[in-house]
Amino acid sequence: MSNSIKNLTLKIWRQLGPTVKGAFETYNVDEISDEASFLEMLDYLNERLISDGKEAIVFDHDCREGICGTCSLMIDGQAHGPQRGTATCQLHMRKFSDGDSIVIEPFRAAAFPIIRDLMVDRSKFDRIIESGGFITAPTGGAPDANLIAIPKPVSDAAMDSAQCIGCGACVAACPNGAANLFTGAKVAHLNRLPQGQPERFKRVESMVETMDEYFGSCTNHGECEGACPKEISVDVIALLNKDYRKAKFASRKDLAR
């Protein structure tokens, strides 16, 4: 049977808008089931705030299955909280104990301005994908799916990095606010596949340059990998850098071969 966790102290960041000064507010949760998820604990708190006539705490969330990438939160200074390889929505209260004090903040990065409370604007990620994170394959002209055999290890490696959920934990965890893990994951997914070869170098060039417009630079701290709910390896950053260097130094005509 489920047990309950008692006397939680929550210090939660409240901020009305991007240009308004924010501050921590303290809330107590007397008792919550250890079967509850972290976000269900916030739902419960919000219900109480509404019944007290106060405004609910704003936070992004949707699927609650760890796949849509909508949820965020810095929990005690860690993006998505203490459990490795787990998005906030999949974090459960059984990971906490009676009397714990928990600090809850939004993802903080220059490229992710705060919209309200714990909600941030991550649309710069979309700008990176729009600049090259795709394979140009207009609807209708595709050849038979089994025409090109793709070695299983290649396909598996592409899948490993394609798992990125675009949550932004990598950026939030990075002391530089860099988006190299996010960008590298998409580049590694597409550049590894035979279908991705024709645009391989154009892709990496435009994605890196778009990324550099908004985000900080990578200095190999590796915090991103530790925070990633999909445990995407920093190896993708090596691949990103390798392809970017190649794109910059070699002749485009040679690369196309």
Partner 1 sequence: MSLTEDLLAQNTVQLNSKIPLGSIEDKWDNYKADMKLVNRNNKRKFKVIVVGTGLAGASAAATLAELGYQVDSFTFHDSPRRAHSIAAQGGINAAKNYQGDGDSVNRLFHDTVKGGDFRARESNVHRLAQVSVNIIDQMVAQGVPFAREYGGLLDNRSFGGAQVSRTFYARGQTGQQLLLGAYQQLARQIGLGGVRLFNRTEFLDVVTVDGRTAGIVTRDLVTGEIESHAAHAVVLATGGYGNVFFLSTNAMSCNVTAAWRAHRKGALFANPCYTQIHPTCIPQSDEFQSKLTLMSESLRNDGRVWVPKNPNETRPAHEVAESDRDYYLERLYPSYGNLAPRDISSRAAKRLVDKGQGVGPLKNGVYLDFNEVIARLGHDVVQERYGNLFEMYERIAGENPYDMPMRIYPASHYTMGGLWVDYELQTNIPGLYAAGEANFSDHGANRLGASALMQGLADGYFVLPYTIGNELAPLLGKTIPGVDHPEFKKAEQAARDQYNGYLNIKGTRSPDWFHRELGKIIWDRCGMERDEQGLQQALSDLPALYEEFKTDLRVTGDGMSLNQTLEKAGRVDDFFQLGMLMCRDALSRQESCGGHFRTEHQTDEGEAKRDDENYCHVSAWQWGGDAMSPNLNVEPLEFEAIHLATRSYK
The minimum distance between CB 220 and partner 1, in angstroms, equals: 27
Considering only residues 58-77, where is the footprint of partner 1 by CB under 8 A? 58, 60-70
Choose the stretch contacting partner 1; rule: CB under 8 A; options: 74-82, 97-105, 132-140, 241-249: 132-140
The reply to whether 250 sits near partner 1 by the rule CB under 8 A is no
Min dist. Cβ of residue 88 to partner 1 (A): 12
* Euclidean distance between CA atoms 110 and 213, whole angstroms: 12
- Under the criterion CB under 8 A, does residue 19 sit at the interface with partner 1? no
43 binds partner 1 (CB under 8 A): yes
Within 92-131, which residues bind partner 1 (CB under 8 A)?
A: 92, 94, 115-116, 119, 121-123, 125-126, 129-131
Choose the stretch contacting partner 1; rule: CB under 8 A; options: 81-89, 96-104, 216-224, 235-243. Answer: 81-89
Number of other residues whose CB lies within 10 A of the CB of residue 115: 16
Query: Quick one: which segment of 22-30, 100-108, 159-167, 246-254 binds partner 1 (CB under 8 A)?
Result: 159-167
Q: Which of 19, 26, 51, 251 binds partner 1 (CB under 8 A)?
A: 51
Cβ 140 vs Cβ 196: under 8 Å? no
175 binds partner 1 (CB under 8 A): no
Smallest separation, CB 41 to partner 1 (Å): 8
Q: For residues 237 and 181, is the Cβ–Cβ distance under 8 A?
A: yes
Residue 99 beta carbon to partner 1: minimum distance, rounded to whole angstroms: 20
Give min distance, CB of 98 to partner 1, in A: 17
- Among 148, 165, 171, 158, smallest CA distance to 89 is for 165
CA 125 from centroid of its chain's CA atoms: 9
Determine if 133 is a binding residue for partner 1 (CB under 8 A).
yes
Structure tokens at 88: 């906030």
* Neighbouring residues of 218: CB distance < 8 A, sequence distance ≥ 6: 174, 176, 178, 180, 237
163 binds partner 1 (CB under 8 A): yes
By CB under 8 A, tell whether 193 contacts partner 1.
yes
CA distance 73 to 105: 6
Residues 6 or more apart in contact with residue 9 via CB below 8 angstroms: 26, 27, 28, 100, 101, 102
> Cα(92)–Cα(111) distance, rounded to whole angstroms?
29
